[in-house]
Chains A and B, each alone.
Chain A
Amino acid sequence: MTSGIDRDLKRFQEIVRGKIRRDLKQYVNHGEMLGRKGRETVSIPVPSIDIPHFVHGDKGNGGSAQGDGEIGQPLGPGQEQDSPGTAGDDPGRHVREVEISIAELADILGQELELPHIEPKGQDSLTSKKDRYKTISRHGPNSLRHFKRTYKEALKRQVATGVYNADDPVIIPTREDERFRSWKSEFEPQANAAILYVMDVSGSMTDDQKTIVRAESFWIDAWLQRQYDGIQRRYIVHDAVAHEVDEETFYRVKESGGTRISSAYQKVMEVITRDFPAADWNLYLFQFSDGDNWGDDNSQLLTEHLLPVCNLFCYGQVESPYGSGDYIRELKTLSEKYENMVLSEIPNQEAIYESIKQFLGRGR
């Protein structure tokens, strides 16, 4: 039987989760999780959950305290403080930080956005070896000794040799009778997945746009991680030429200059051939740009080489004061032919939520 407080704690956590679920859109859109990556869990500030009472507000309120200070010296903001003056009985009502695992957050996201679970590409060629304790061996450490089996063996032997006496059923196992739990190596088919992020870092992309990209990729990561065991990520930035960079640089780098999207596709292809042979990997390609492209550049590489191998190609176009936004129009003409191509326009932070739904709603 669990103790009372565990039950109450669990109930409280359920209520908190419910609250997170209700406010999820706000968390998604406003990138509250940013900078909290790289851990198993994130802390989410949840507005205090308490029982309402008739209480005094700030207006006209005051009290007495002790210390130095001139008349008129401010003591701190009125909001989100302990109710003043009550001489320190109730614990403070703070904004609560709630620890929640990213996996759980992804589940909530999935439920809220009604995201379908992903069907991995049907390939079993890649396997992983796993050891499972599901067999019995004659040797092993005492800590793994299988008492029942050992007993049975001893009983069988004693019955067979006639030592067994039903009136005095003493069973004495010998070394030969002992049986131990043991492992067996199994090969399991494993679905591997890789996410490739491509971002336009040309002069026309400002920090606002990057914030949007960052928020989107956080949630995309969270969701795909939930779907695949081990997931690899690669980051590519481009202006007129493309570079593969690490995650840190991806969000920080500031370039200027023109835009040649095909350079990024070229790079993506290189990465795929090098690290992720398309036959074995589920590939996800996310591209973010403001839609500005060099005049004579085209999407030929994408249609001929990338779309056929990717589970999903998502293009998110953020609105920038400088970009023309033509590229999405070019892609739209293609989108009917390729069902693994998803296009989304993200004019501002409020649109992140919908855009994630568009991207991941296909279940691929």
Chain B
Amino acid sequence: MVVPTEHDLPPEIRALQSEMAKIARGYGLDFPDTIFEFVDYDEMSMMAAYGGFPVRYPHWRFGAQYDELSKGYSYGLQKIYEMVINTDPCYAYLLNCNGMTDQKLVIAHVYGHGDFFKHNAWFQGTNVRMLDQMANHAARINRYIDRYGYEPVEQFIDACLSIEDLIDPHSVHIRRRPDLKRIAAKRAQQEQEQEEDEHGLEGTRGRFAAKEYMDPYINPPAILHAENEERRRFDTARAAERRFPEEPQRDVMLFLLEHAPLRDWQHDILAIIRDEAYYFAPQGMTKIMNEGWASYWHSTIMTRHGLTDAEVVDYADHHSGTMAMSGRRLNPYKIGIELYRDIEERWNRGQFGAEWNSCDDEEEKKHWNTNAGLGREKIFEVRKIHNDVTFVDSFLTEEFCRKHKLFSFAYNEQEKTYEIASREFQEIKAHLLNSLTNHGRPFISVVDGNYKNRGELYLRHEYQGIELKPDYAQATLTNLHRLWGRPVHIETVMDDRMRVLGFDGTRHEVVG
């Protein structure tokens, strides 16, 4: 088992660390204590494959990741400069073969991440002691492997991972379901009423308060009886109609935890994988903001404080490498840092508010400057309350799109290629938001856990113009069936028609 490597930091790096920390704090960055580990590329690849944690449960996909990373490095295709994990104290890994300039840049970058983890609202629910938690998960799964064998456990993990994205990342902040205590209280009341109903008319339901001698007049038995009958009919009808779950539920993993026929160890593994999915979810939701924030700070700190003359070229080279755009991929580092700078600029010049919005004069807008000087303050606020979707929604402007040559692209079915679709601001923004919402994944909920009254599972894909990839959908259904144990279905849209893909354990079918 691997433990944190705990190589001693070379003294010059340590000096760098305290210097950088001082500068960063001077700018108002507030980050947890950060422990830097000095690792070689092999260890770095391992950490990256493990998502930054030194101990994870055994699974081949980590090996696949590691293989890809270490090969990519040895062929000179890619290099990971740094890794930070969202814990307190914060752990960060530095690559020991990096030059001094790189180390400085990386340390400054890491402090940016540390500040973001600590202050961004979406991270507030995450466990800052995840290092222990992950090791704990690994220990539990290792125990199951010892007891039930490697392959059954691995197969089960594969199945769980197949639906690891079917969670509800917003549920941390929203109460989707009533409190369990209230449910219990309500249920007790219902039971009481039911009991009374069963004993005929003696119940209290539907009765008006009345003195005993007046009772037969105020609460005529015949009418009470009729009302009770009516009510009972209504209740049974509603019970028959009642869906399970009552509302479509996005947290499919939770639904399975509560209702799938799992053995104890399977239940525990599913819970572990769901925990980890929730832990990593905010990082997926704030990729642009987080990387942009860290890049903003490494560039600010480096260009104003960190660099000696000899280091400028190295720094510029690596900074621009990180910011490079390629193909049809939007570089989150680049888009993030530019948006922060744009916001800072606009709030410094007072380009916001009703007056600015109502101004139509292009020329006036160009030279608009109220010397508001609120830029820095604003971006600190932004990093606290936004996630990628709201960040782009609130701050992407038409001017920004033009300046950075953004475009939207779409799939051309005839040509089987992606091509540039538009340079219209609204189009670009809509496409960008689409690809960020739910991390670019389809929205899927459990609609019925007792489909056809046969205990089959029925999911619904909320079609928003993009079809599911059919072979992946089928393979995922196969895995889902392994968890649910009964036939599974997903409702989606294919070729503009509603279809239901199903898998009953032996055969895939498409209905509709």
Contact = CB atoms under 8 A, between A and B. Distances in A.
A83 B332 contact: no
A64 to B, nearest CB: 4
Contacts, number: 239
Contacts of B470: 57
Interface centre among B61, B432, B435, B436 (most CB of A within 10 A): B435
Interface string B249-265: 00000000000000000
Contacts of A63: 328, 330, 408-409, 431-432, 434-435, 440
Interface in B404-458: 404-413, 415-423, 428-429, 431-432, 434-436, 439-442, 444
Contacts of A56: 440-442, 466-469
Given A64-B432, A66-B334, A67-B407, A54 B476 contact: yes
B166 interface: yes
A70 interface: yes
A91 B51 CA distance: 12
A143 interface: no
Contacts of A64: 330, 406-409, 428-429, 431-432, 435
A12 B63 contact: yes
A62 B421 contact: yes
A168 interface: no
Interface in A24-79: 49-79
A300 interface: no
Interface centre among A77, A81, A82, A91 (most CB of B within 10 A): A91
Contact of A61 (B158, B284, B410, B428): B410
Bin chain B's interface residue count.
35 or more
Interface in A233-260: none
B442 A54 contact: yes
Nearest to A63: B435
B50 interface: yes
Interface stretch (B8-16, B29-37, B52-60): B52-60
Nearest to B338: A66
B64 interface: yes
A135 interface: no
Given A71-B422, A87-B388, A62 B2 contact: no
A295 interface: no
9 contacts: A51-B162, A55-B468, A65-B407, A66-B331, A66-B407, A76-B418, A78-B411, A82-B329, A87-B388
Interface of B: 1-2, 45-46, 49-50, 55-56, 58-69, 138, 154, 158, 161-166, 284, 287-288, 325, 327-332, 334-335, 388, 404-413, 415-423, 428-429, 431-432, 434-436, 439-442, 444, 461, 465-470, 472-473, 475-476, 478-479, 490
Interface of A: 1, 3-5, 7-13, 15, 49-79, 81-89, 91, 96
